[in-house]
Amino acid sequence: MTLLQHELADFTVNAYQNDAFHEVTKADVLGHWSVFFFYPADFTFVCPTELEDLSAKYEDFKAIGCEIYSVSCDTHFVHKAWHDANEKIAKIQYPMLADPTGALARDLDTYNEELGQAERGDFIVNPEGKVVAYEVISSNVGRNADELLRRVQASQFVYEHGDQVCPAKWEPGDDTIEPTLDLVGQL
Do 156 and 34 contact (CB within 8 A), yes or no? no
Contact 175, 157 (CB under 8 A): no
| Residue ranges covered by each domain of the chain | 12-142
Q: What contacts 93, CB < 8 A, 6 or more positions away?
A: 17, 18, 55, 58
145 Cβ partners below 8 Å, 6+ apart? 50, 53, 54, 56, 57
Q: Note if 47 is an active site residue.
A: yes
Catalytic position from the list 47, 66, 73, 166: 47
Write out the CATH class of domain 12-142.
alpha beta
Q: What predicted TM-score, i.e. pTM, was given to this entire model?
A: 0.95
Share of residues in the chain with pLDDT > 90 (%): 89
Q: Sorting pLDDT into bands at 50, 70 and 90, what band is 178?
A: confident
40-70: per-residue pLDDT in tens? 999 999 999 999 999 999 999 999 999 999 9
Q: Is the per-residue pLDDT at 165 higher than 70? A: yes
Q: Are strands 20-25 and 33-38 parallel, antiparallel or unpaired?
A: unpaired
Q: What is the 3-state secondary structure (H, E, C) of 13-81?
A: EEEEECCEEEEEEHHHHCCCEEEEEECCCCCCCCHHHHHHHHHHHHHHHHHCCEEEEEEECCCHHHHHH
- The DSSP 8-state label assigned to residue 89 in this structure reads G
157-164's contacts with Cβ under 8 Å and 24+ in sequence apart are 159/126, 159/132
The region of weakest confidence among 75-79, 115-119, 137-141, 142-146 is 137-141
**Residue 133: HSE in the Cβ half-sphere, 13 Å Cα cutoff:** 16
Burial class of residue 140, CB neighbours in 10 A (0-12, 13-18, 19+): exposed
Largest CA distance in the chain: 59
pLDDT of residue 177: 83
